[in-house]
Amino acid sequence: MSSAQVLPNRFRVVVLSGPSGSGKTTVVERLLEAAPLRLVKSISATTRAPRNGEVDGESYYFLSPQEFAERKAREEFLETAEVFGAGYWYGTLKTEVDRAQRMGGWSFLEIDVQGALRVMELYPDAVTIFLHPPSMEECERRLRSRASESEEAVQKRLRQVQEEIGQSGRYRYQVINDRLDDTIAEISRILRREAGTAD
């Protein structure tokens, strides 16, 4: 937490969603450092395998499908979703939101649209933000620059992006991620306003 960050009075949940190619990962990294108040990032659970460099308990809690299903049955999750229909499950553990509250920060969830819609039901006052790519052209360029994916996979992701953008009206705020600095400034303004500390 940087020295400029304050501890908010009232606990809130912040949800950020953005399609692949929206530049979400960089925005989240910068925001956690630069936000005007303390945000505690929720560590999601997933059944997908760790990628290079990902650490269990930091990037995600990597669970076997069986453990995920057992914990889901025990109602340990706030929300779960099968993201991209690829057979991998993701979910926010209730204990993650509790952890943020204990730490005196706002719980920050970077989750997909399905999960966000569920959180909106559970926390109607959640600060929900949808991050748009600057344009579909730029989004496509970013997706293609991940050279590992086949044309079919790129087309599938682009359809998914369109679908997610179609739901963006359900979010309280929509931010276009054109220039990183502007995006961080805009989200910081939103958080200050929601915390009642806007000047």
Q: Three-class SS of residue 9?
A: coil
Of 161 and 191, the one with the shorter C-beta distance to ligand 5GP is: 161
Measured at CB, which residue is nearest to ligand 5GP?
Answer: 115
* Residue 120 touches ligand 5GP, criterion: CB under 6 A: no
Distance CA 179, CA 193 (A): 21
3-state secondary structure of 45: strand
Among 22, 47, 92, 107, binds ligand 5GP (CB under 6 A): 92
User: CA 22 to CA 18: how far, in whole Å?
Assistant: 6
> Residue from 81, 126, 161, 165 that binds ligand 5GP (CB under 6 A)?
81
Sites for ligand 5GP among residues 45-74 (CB under 6 A): 48
DSSP 72: H
Q: Does 171 bind ligand 5GP (CB under 6 A)?
A: no
Q: CA quadruple 34, 37, 38, 41: dihedral positive or negative?
A: negative
Cβ-based neighbours of 194, under 8 Å, separated by 6 or more: 12, 127
Residue type, 121: E
CB of 66 vs ligand 5GP, minimal distance in Å: 18
Closer to ligand 5GP by CB, 35 or 119: give it.
Answer: 119
Give yes or no for residue 90 binding ligand 5GP (CB under 6 A).
yes
CB of 121 to ligand 5GP, least distance (A): 13
For residue 57 the two structure tokens come to: 């308990």
What is the rounded CA–CA span in Å between residue 128 and residue 30? 18
Span interacting with ligand 5GP, options 32-40, 86-94, 97-105, 166-174, rule CB under 6 A:
86-94
107 lies in the site for ligand 5GP, by CB under 6 A? no
Is 168 one of the binding residues for ligand 5GP (CB under 6 A)? no
Edge-to-edge strand ranges of the sheet holding 45-46? 61-62, 45-46, 88-93, 77-83
Contact residues for ligand 5GP, defined by CB under 6 A: 44, 48, 79, 81, 83, 90-92, 110-112, 114-115
